[in-house]
Amino acid sequence: MAVDKGRQVRRMEHAAPDGAVLETPLEVLDFHMPAYTCDGNKRAIFVDRDGVLNRFGEMKKPGDVDELMVPGAVESLVSLMKTSRLPVYVVSNQQGCSTEAFAKRARAEMAMDRLAELVVAQGGKFAGVVFCPNKSRQQVPEGTVNAFKPHGGMFLEVALRDGIDLSQSYMIGDSVKDMVSARSAHPEMTTVLVKTGNKGQDEPRPFEPDGFVANIVEASQWVLAREGF
């Protein structure tokens, strides 16, 4: 894994149905060095994982990921990717998976790998998978943006690297901190809350999300409708 300051990246490889081998970048991010200037012109869809794509539960082996997936989650994501033609990124807090916590980190990466594999097997592909291993109150270097949601570092990092205009992008999550992190990265990002997982009840809502729907299947449809499909 390439190590950068506050950031580690490796490529996950999976075989697509047509036999091609597709690569998905997996990024572990502690903080973002602030340089986002919103001059990107690509739009994107960000999705939280736990409570949105899967039910809460321990993921010790790939089969656990399959078992915990919300029914229809993978299919609706792939349909969202193919129909909207927008890049889809996972942005996930994985608290306590620091490099020192080897077993926990390995399990977190295994679970992300299996999720990406399920999507590739259905004919889709994430543009990227990002997770933040910080503890919730961990300090980050002065002048940087914490990647741990409710902070916006993961969005800013992806936006800077891939030229994403966050004001024209979407965030789908189950927690108020997903909505807050998106809006802190850019106040005009469109937010969609789902009624699975934390159901938006993890903390008081400082604002109402743009969409509030039953689950990831409806959230995908909501975004597609917004996109005119």
Rounded to whole angstroms, the Cα distance separating 28 from 7 reads 6
Least separation in angstroms between residue 73's CB and Mg ion is 13
> Are 131 and 94 within 8 A, CB to CB?
yes
The CA-based angle 22-161-182, given to 5 degrees, is 100
Least separation in angstroms between residue 55's CB and Mg ion is 11
Q: Which residues contact 103 (CB under 8 A, 6 or more apart)?
A: none
Q: What are phi and psi of 167, to 5 degrees?
A: -65, -20
Is 99 or 201 the residue whose CB approaches Mg ion more closely?
A: 201
123 φψ region: left (φ > 0), alpha (ψ -120 to 50), beta (else): left
Least separation in angstroms between residue 156's CB and Mg ion is 19
Q: Interface with Mg ion includes 48 (CB under 5 A)?
A: yes
Site for Mg ion in 76-115 (CB under 5 A): none
Is 60 or 199 the residue whose CB approaches Mg ion more closely?
A: 199
> Are 11 and 24 within 8 A, CB to CB?
yes
130 DSSP β-pair partners: 27, 91
Is 175 or 190 the residue whose CB approaches Mg ion more closely?
A: 175
> Are 209 and 200 within 8 A, CB to CB?
yes
Is 48 or 117 the residue whose CB approaches Mg ion more closely?
A: 48
Is 22 or 59 the residue whose CB approaches Mg ion more closely?
A: 59
Site for Mg ion in 162-191 (CB under 5 A): 174-175
Query: Binding pattern to Mg ion, positions 117-156, x when CB under 5 A?
Result: ----------------------------------------
Pick the binder of Mg ion from 40, 51, 150, 211 (CB under 5 A).
51
Q: Interface with Mg ion includes 209 (CB under 5 A)?
A: no
Q: What are phi and psi of 92, to 5 degrees?
A: -135, 130
Q: Interface with Mg ion includes 200 (CB under 5 A)?
A: no
Q: How many residues bind Mg ion (CB under 5 A)?
A: 6
Is 129 or 160 the residue whose CB approaches Mg ion more closely?
A: 129
Pick the binder of Mg ion from 50, 109, 157, 218 (CB under 5 A).
50
Rounded to whole angstroms, the Cα distance separating 123 from 107 reads 25
In single-letter form, the type of residue at position 24 comes to T
Binding region for Mg ion (CB under 5 A) = 48, 50-51, 174-175, 197
